[in-house]
Amino acid sequence: MEKKPLILVSNDDGITAPGIHVLVKVMQRIGEVVVVAPDGPQSGMGHAITIGNTLRLDKSLAFDEVESYECSGTPADCVKLAKHHVLKDRKPDLVVSGINHGSNSSISVLYSGTMSAAIEAAIEGLPAIGFSLCDYGHDIDFSHTEEFVERITRQALEHGVPKGVALNVNFPKKSDNPIAGIKVCRQARAKWEEEFDERQDPRGRGYFWLTGSFVNYDQGDDTDEAALAQNYVSVVPCQFDMTAHHTITTLNNDWNLNPSSEPVLGSKNYENAGEGLG
C-alpha cells in the first residue's frame, strides 16, 4: 500500500473555528492528519511567539478520528510545538493553515496568524500553505473552496514547494458565479488606512477602537487583489527573507557608510566635538 503523506494542520481562528474543520475534512481525503491549533482566537497575532509565559498543550476532542491538540499560544507556537514535540520523531510532508475567516491578501500577510503558521513551517524547512477566504460574514460558506484546496494541496505534494517559501492562497467570497480559476500572483501594493476612534467606557475611561478602510494603490493586473476582484483564487509565493536585495548595491554605492577619514572616539578629532551642542 502507498504510504499516505503526513499533513500538519493549524490556524489562527482557534481549534473550534469552522474553517479549520473544512480544511481537516479535505486533508483527510489526501493523507494522515495531525492538528495543532490555538485553543482560542489568535487573529492578527502576526509572527508572535510566547516568551516568559507558560505554554500549554492539551489533547483535543475537536475532531473525530484525528490526532489533535490545542495550544495556549500563537499560531507560530503551534507549529514549533508540533515539530519539536508532537511530531519530534516524524517529519510532516506538508503544513497547511486555515481556512481563515477573512482575507489575508496584500499587506494583511504581515499581520496574519494564519500565514505566520505557514511561514514558521517554511523557516523550519517544511513545505507550507496558508488558506484564507475573503469573507467576514457571520454565516460564512466555505463550500466553494474545497475543490481548490484539494487541488492546490495535491500539486504541492506532487511537485513540492520551493525551500523557504510558503504559499499564500486567498479565495474570493462565494457568489452566484463559479470561481474562474487559479492565478499565481504577486502581492498588491495596498494597505489599511487606519483611524483610531476615541471612545469612553461606562466608567468614563478613555480607550481607542481601531477602524479604517482598505485602499489598493496598485493598478497592476498581476496582483492578488486583481485576481480576487475577477473571482479567481490568488496564490502568492511568500518568503521569510525580508532583505530588499535590490537596495544593497544602492546603499553600498551611494551612502558614505565607511568614510576613510572617520574620526575615532577619544582621538584629537573629538576634542571640540561638543561645541555648539545644547
The string of pLDDT tens digits covering residues 82-107 is 999 999 999 999 999 999 999 999 98
What are the structural domains, with CATH classification, of the chain? 6-189+220-245 (3.40.1210.10)
The closest alpha carbon to 191, from 225, 167, 241, belongs to: 225
Residues 6+ apart with CB under 8 A from 122: 128, 161, 164, 165, 166, 238, 239, 240
Q: Which residues pair with 248 in a beta bridge?
A: none
112 pLDDT above the threshold of 80:
yes
How far is Cα of residue 260 from the mean position of the Cα atoms in its chain?
Answer: 44
Half-sphere exposure of 238 (CA within 13 A, CB side): 34
- Is 13 annotated among the ligand-binding residues? yes
- Is 12 annotated among the ligand-binding residues? yes
- At 87, which amino acid appears? L
pLDDT band at 134 (very low <50, low <70, confident <90, very high): very high
C-alpha to C-alpha distance for 145 and 135, rounded to whole angstroms: 12
**Full-model pTM:** 0.88
| Burial class of residue 87 (count of CB atoms within 10 Å of its CB; 0-12, 13-18, 19+) | middle
How big is the chain by its Cα radius of gyration, in Å?
A: 23
- Is 93 annotated among the ligand-binding residues? no
Per-residue model confidence as pLDDT tens digits over 187-241:
999 888 888 999 999 999 999 998 888 888 999 999 999 999 999 999 999 999 9
- Summarize the confidence of residues 7-33 as an average pLDDT: 97
pLDDT band at 71 (very low <50, low <70, confident <90, very high): very high
pLDDT value of position 260: 76
Cα-flanking dihedrals φ and ψ of residue 60, to 5°? -120, 150
Q: Which of 45-49, 149-153, 207-211, 265-269 has the highest mean pLDDT?
A: 149-153
pLDDT value of position 125: 95
pLDDT band at 265 (very low <50, low <70, confident <90, very high): low
pLDDT value of position 244: 94
76 pLDDT above the threshold of 60:
yes
- At 251, which amino acid appears? L
pLDDT value of position 269: 47
